[in-house]
Amino acid sequence: MAACLSAALHPRCAAIHKHNRGTHVARAAQREGEALAPPLPPPPPQVGWLWDKKAADTHKRLQEQKLRPKKSLGQNFMLDDNVLASVVDAAALQPGDLVLEIGPGTGNLTRHLLAAGALVTAVEKDYALSEQLEVEFAGVAEMRLVCGDVLRQDVHALLDGMQRHRLDWLASPAGQAAGALSGTQAAAAAEGSSAAALDQDVQQPAAAAQQQGQDGDSLPQQQQQQQQEQEGAGRRGVAGGEHPARVTVVANLPYYITKDCLNQMLPLGGRISDIYFMLQDEVGVRLTQADPGAADWRVMNLLTQYHSRAQYLFRIDRRKYLPAPKVDGAVVRFELIPPHQRMPVPSEPDFIKLVKKAFSQRRKVVRNALRPMYEPADVLAALEAVGLNPNARAQDLTLDQFGQLAWKLHEQTGGSGSGSNGEEQQQQQQQQQERLEAQQEDNGGSSA
């Protein structure tokens, strides 16, 4: 059997990786259809440097550091290592996978991610906690810390930095030994891989690794453009440097930034494969179980469905957090859909604008809510043409129905009703054409 990555990792991680090796190789074998060796038992929590600090001791450690949880930063630390282990287990990380962690806090989740062999980039807004993390993880080649507000990051630059981190790491003794695993990993990676070419930004990294304080408003357009360039990038890489590696986002989120983080990350399918968010239970239920026609069918449901397949994984008792919030938590997985696999629409930015506008005045029927983007008479004609109730409200429509409405309005108005200028429209049509071509290629060249 090929040498294990874990043996070459930071020596203090070795004991934990010895366990993980069994689990990861077993998963790879499972994908190859081989007989499975019985999985190893979970590691005793005290083993190794990573477990010198238990999540349950968070309160004591904060006291020693003369720190208190900050409500303003949504600091509800997870005290139960079993919950954290379940989150990381659900993410089925392979050694060498890239993980973006939002809000590492006291590092409780971070330790589990590192123990799974991930290369972690963690963004923490709290300066005092960042200082502690810097000390704790000093010299750990698998860990990068960014002190800043995740919502103000240029996420593409952040992701580029993560891929460079991996290339640097692969060139290090730890990564070199990991290369010996590539045969097994490649087999595991084959599932879901789109055999993509190396993304240029990985070879020629963008100049800025992070731009704290950057105007957040300018990001979506830039993200969108880069996203188009990244279309087709592989979801999973192998241990070698030829492909961008799979990126997973994992976070125990401050509840109050959940929506903003989803808006920021959901459109990044193609660069990010999955997101595992620990969020408010009620939000998790709503995002994954609400149906059209119900009061809790909101714009975020449509955007979530458009960009991802969301799955409620499990509930978390509020008493497992420090301090305990007023509501329970939950873990939700968002499997991101790459741009060319999303539901086809005439123009993605216009489609999103249309959905948001339709929901902006929930009590109004869609044809009135969409004013002045579209004339009510045009909307009425479009609704009737696609067989929808002319008095439909936004919360009555499914994602598909919004798609049909967008196409019909586009056909009727030639796209002019959306307020786009001609140049934008041309660009959007070209992007749509490229998307269709990519889709046809995915379907083996058939135009069906």
Q: Point out the annotated binding site for S-adenosyl-L-methionine.
A: 76, 78, 103, 124, 149, 252
Q: Are 311 and 333 in contact (CB under 8 A)?
A: yes
**Which residues inside 134-153 make contact with ligand SAM, applying CB under 6 A?**
149-151
Nearer to ligand SAM, 74 or 403 (CB): 74
Q: 265, 237, 238: which is closest to 251 by C-alpha?
A: 265
**Which residues inside 206-265 make contact with ligand SAM, applying CB under 6 A?**
252, 254, 257
Residue 124 binding ligand SAM, by CB under 6 A: yes
- Amino acid letter, 235: R
Backbone angles phi, psi at 192, to 5 degrees: 85, -5
Q: Are 119 and 142 in contact (CB under 8 A)?
A: yes
Give the interface segment with ligand SAM, choosing from 43-51, 100-108, 302-310, 347-355 (CB under 6 A): 100-108
* Options 23, 76, 308, 412; binder of ligand SAM; rule CB under 6 A: 76
Nearer to ligand SAM, 86 or 440 (CB): 86
Nearer to ligand SAM, 246 or 320 (CB): 320
Nearer to ligand SAM, 126 or 199 (CB): 126
Nearer to ligand SAM, 75 or 194 (CB): 75
Written as six digits, the tokens of 270 are 């193609």
3-class SS at 119?
Answer: strand
Give how far Cα 63 sits from Cα of 57, 59, 69, 358, Å.
10, 6, 10, 49
CA 93 to chain centre: 14
Give the contacts of 125 (CB within 8 A, at least 6 positions apart).
73, 103, 147, 148, 149, 150
* Number of residues located near ligand SAM, criterion CB under 6 A: 24
How many angstroms separate the CA atoms of 251 and 66, rounded?
25
Q: Are 56 and 65 in contact (CB under 8 A)?
A: no
Point out which residues pair with 252 in neighbouring strands.
278
Residue 109 binding ligand SAM, by CB under 6 A: yes
Compute the least distance from the CB of residue 127 to ligand SAM, in Å. 9
> Residue with structure tokens 């460079």?
164
Residue 329 binding ligand SAM, by CB under 6 A: no
* Options 112, 125, 236, 410; binder of ligand SAM; rule CB under 6 A: 125
Nearest residue to ligand SAM by CB is 103
Residue 91 binding ligand SAM, by CB under 6 A: no
Nearer to ligand SAM, 124 or 199 (CB): 124
> Residue with structure tokens 């959905």?
355
**Which residues inside 360-419 make contact with ligand SAM, applying CB under 6 A?**
none
Instruction: Return residues touching ligand SAM (CB under 6 A).
Output: 73-78, 102-106, 108-109, 123-126, 129, 149-151, 252, 254, 257
